[in-house]
Amino acid sequence: MGAAVHSLTQAKAYRAIQARKTPKPRRRTERMLERTRAVVEELTGVNPTKSAIWMSLRRRKAATLTQKFCAYAWRSLHEGYKLGRYWDNIDGLRNDRMPCLECEAPVESMDHILRECRVSGQETVWKLAKEIWAETGLEWPYVTVETVLGVGLLTVKDENGKVLKGRTRLLQILISESAHLIWCLRCEWRIGRGRDLSQLHTEPEIRNRLRAAVSKRLRIDWALANKQAYGRKALNARVVEATWYKVASGRESIRSDLVAPGVLLGSASSRRPRGRNR
């Protein structure tokens, strides 16, 4: 019979229109989804559904994956970035933009940027990420572009098969922040610095960028674990402590002054001040 006009909202009407229009599957998206499912199954032993992969990029609970990374991963799942084979059918730009000239790779794919490229800073980023993870004493997984896109479904388990929530969060944070930083470094050098080899990001600069990104995540966790400020919406303090246990006190990994006694637990002394200057 249709919908009552007096109770119909724009949001409801839009959802109804979307439900009636089923988009055709994209071949590139379906191919990337299948590859991601296979890698996640190999690492976790569970074969996720396609919807589970999409939902892992929309989940904001526990503040594990940032919105910027999720937008990057969503577009990468669709193979929507203008790189690699995107330029294959564009005359005049194919020979200049499709390959990675600096690495002499025929196609500059996302996997090449994240794992093989010599100008994206990926080697330094992953090396530091492994150093941070080494503080946990656990094995670092083999990271590919499919691992990055399915990072929201990765889990870390103990010897008895129990999921370690803290270590799972830390692994997801390290992989997501590292991959997004590599992509940003590549774009900064290729676009902002005009592919000038004399202006490549230096190793100290790259290491400082990753340290700053991970330290920022630590500060956010510290702030969101304050129950006096956020009440029931606050992060579980035990999970936050388990996430940064041993890692926050590392020698070079993360600033240790951010985890003073009582900070992660949201003590009264760390309560957010009132007013616009809080």
For the whole model, what pTM was predicted?
A: 0.83
Q: Please give the Cα distance from 183 to 197 (Å, whole number).
A: 17
How does DSSP assign 257-277, residue by residue? GGG-TTTTTT-GGGPPPSSTT
pLDDT of residue 74: 96
- Structure-model confidence comparison of residues 260 and 24, the more confident one: 24
pLDDT of residue 274: 55
The amino acid present at 43, given as its one-letter code, is: L
The predicted-structure confidence for 148-160, as pLDDT tens digits, reads as follows 999 999 999 998 8
Residue 262 clears pLDDT 50, i.e. is over it: no
pLDDT of residue 16: 86
Residue 271 clears pLDDT 70, i.e. is over it: no
Q: Which residues sit opposite 163 in a β-bridge?
A: 157
The predicted-structure confidence for 120-148, as pLDDT tens digits, reads as follows 999 999 999 999 999 999 999 999 999 99
Stretch 21-29: mean pLDDT: 87
Provide the Cα torsion 117, 121, 123, 129; round to 10°. -140
Residue 89 clears pLDDT 50, i.e. is over it: yes
pLDDT of residue 177: 96
230 contacts 224 by C-beta, under 8 angstroms: yes
267 contacts 194 by C-beta, under 8 angstroms: no
pLDDT of residue 141: 94
Provide the pLDDT confidence category of residue 250 given band limits of 50, 70 and 90: very low
Q: Please give the Cα distance from 107 to 243 (Å, whole number).
A: 38
The predicted-structure confidence for 216-237, as pLDDT tens digits, reads as follows 999 999 888 888 888 888 888 8
